[in-house]
Amino acid sequence: MSTPDILVTGVSFTYPDGHVALEGVDLTVERGERIAVLGPNGAGKTTLILHLNGIYAPARGSVTIAGLPVIKANLGEIRRRVGIVFQDPDDQLFMPTVRQDVAFGPANLGLTPDEIDACVDGALRAVGMETRADRAPHHLSFGERRRVALATVLSMRPDVLVLDEPSSNLDPASRRELAEILAGLDITIVLVTHDLPYALQLCPRSVLLNSGRVVADDGTGAILGNDNLLAANRLELPFGFDDRLLRSP
């Protein structure tokens, strides 16, 4: 068996105010898997993903990425291996041009100019933004800025891509375009979302969190087809959703 890309073992985490955000979480994600992390507000979803690249450290338990423990001594390499795309793209875009934003990460890896250019060009092509390279990010649409934020992570050539609510605030065309981009990536993906159809479209497997615990880990169709499970965890499919999609292979 190959080493999993993500191994979370018995992770618990409590915020300074005493709120227990995670309690005994176990999660294994194999190389190349695509999983959705679902759950109501306050379930611990964002807290969990911030453990994957060492932004948070567990009070108990451990996290490893492709066999490398997520500890202080390894944070530089961990943050290259695990790229997080946050919900608000403006949290990740701060340079005068798109190209400079996408080049920022590779430049800090100490790569040569030719290597940086190759990383940037590849990342921009992957998200369909190569024609926007010389534009100012704040002149782009919201959907375009989200794709540039994704490119800033892809330019680091991570092993694991984590996306926090990637479809939020996107119009239908931008939502579809982003899904097509993500479906075409050959990389391990963890997608945190309230958009249940998006999870079904992109992720064969889902993990359901509530009150800091894993309450279900199964095929996405199986979880979304369990009305009692959804109701117990304050999740709902959109009105008019075609239930036949849950039975698709």
Which CATH number does the domain housing residue 15 bear? 3.40.50.300
pTM of the model: 0.93
Separation CA 245–CA 225 (nearest Å): 10
34 contacts 203 by C-beta, under 8 angstroms: yes
Average confidence (pLDDT) over 141-150: 95
Read off the pLDDT band of 93 (50, 70, 90): very high
Has residue 10 been placed in a domain?
A: yes
Per the listing, tokens 């290597």 go with 115
When divided into structural domains, the chain yields a total of: 1
Q: Does 249 score more than 50 pLDDT?
A: no
Residues 6+ away with beta carbon under 8 Å from 158: 80, 81, 82, 83, 187
Q: Does 100 score more than 80 pLDDT?
A: yes
Residue 135, phi then psi, degrees to nearest 5: -85, 155
For the chain, what is the mean pLDDT? 93
Has residue 202 been placed in a domain?
A: yes
Has residue 178 been placed in a domain?
A: yes
Has residue 132 been placed in a domain?
A: no
- Quote the pLDDT of residue 190: 98
Has residue 215 been placed in a domain?
A: yes
| Three-state SS at 100 | helix
Average confidence (pLDDT) over 212-232: 95
Exposure letters 21-44 (e unless 16+ CB within 10 A, then b): bbbebebebeeebbbbbbbeeebb
Q: Does 194 score more than 60 pLDDT?
A: yes
Structure token pair of residue 198: 């998006």
- Quote the pLDDT of residue 145: 95
Integer CA distances (angstroms), 67 to 5, 74, 101, in order: 7, 11, 30
pLDDT in tens, 17-53: 999 999 999 999 999 999 999 999 999 999 999 999 9
Read off the pLDDT band of 119 (50, 70, 90): very high
Domain extent, residue 65, equals: 6-88+160-247
